[in-house]
Amino acid sequence: MTEVKAVEIKAKLIPIYIMGKKYEVPETLTIMKAIEYAGYQYIRGCGCRGGVCGACSTVYRKPGSYKIMSGLACQTVVEPEMYLTQIPFYPAIRSTYTFEKLTGKPEEVFDLYHELFRCVACNACSKVCPMDVEVMDYIAALKRGDIKAAAEISFDCIQCGLCASRCMGELPQYHIAQLARRINGRYLTPQAEHLKTMVANIEAGRYQESLTGLKVMDINMLKETYTAREMEPATGGEDWIPKENIGL
Partner 1 sequence: MKISYYPGCTLKTKAKNLESSALACLDALGVEYEELPRWNCCGAVYSLSDDDLIHLIAPVRDLIRVQEQGFDTVLTLCSMCYNTLARANELMKNDEVKRGTINDFMDEEPDYKGEIKVVHFLDFIRDEIGWDKLKANVKNPLNGMKLAPYYGCTLLRPGDVSIDKSNSPVVFEECMEALGAEIVKFPKAIECCGSYQVLGNPEAALKVSNDIITEATAFGAEAMALTCPLCDYNLGHRQEEMLKKYEGTKALPMFYFTQLMAVALGVDPENYNLDLNQAVSQEFLKGKNLLEKVST
* Closer residue to partner 1, CB minimum distance, 18 or 116: 116
> Is residue 145 at the binding interface for partner 1, with CB under 8 A as the rule?
yes
Residue 52 contacts ligand FES per CB under 6 A: yes
| 188 forms part of the interface with partner 1 (CB under 8 A) | no
Instruction: Output the CA torsion 233→239→244→248 (10° steps).
Output: 130
> Using the rule CB under 8 A, is 122 a contact of partner 1?
yes
Provide the pairing of β-strand 83-86 with 13-18: parallel
Q: Which of 75, 104, 106, 178 binds partner 1 (CB under 8 A)?
A: 106
Q: Which is nearer to ligand FES, 130 or 172 (CB)?
A: 130
- Does residue 161 interact with ligand FES by CB under 6 A? no
Rg, C-alpha atoms of the chain: 25
Contact assessment for residue 73 and residue 131, using Cβ atoms and an 8 Å cutoff: no
CB of 70 to ligand FES, least distance (A): 12
144 contact, one of ligand FES, partner 1, none, CB 5-8 Å limit per kind: partner 1
Contacts of 184 (CB under 8 A, 6+ apart): 147, 148, 150, 151, 152
Per the CB < 8 A criterion, the answer to whether 125 and 167 are in contact is yes
Q: What is the distance of C-alpha 183 from the center of its chain?
A: 19
Residue 119 and residue 163: Cα distance in Å, rounded? Answer: 12
Instruction: Compare residues 46 and 124 and give the one whose CB is closer to ligand FES.
Output: 46
Q: Which residues bind partner 1 (CB under 8 A)?
A: 106, 117, 119-123, 127, 134, 136-137, 140, 143-146, 168
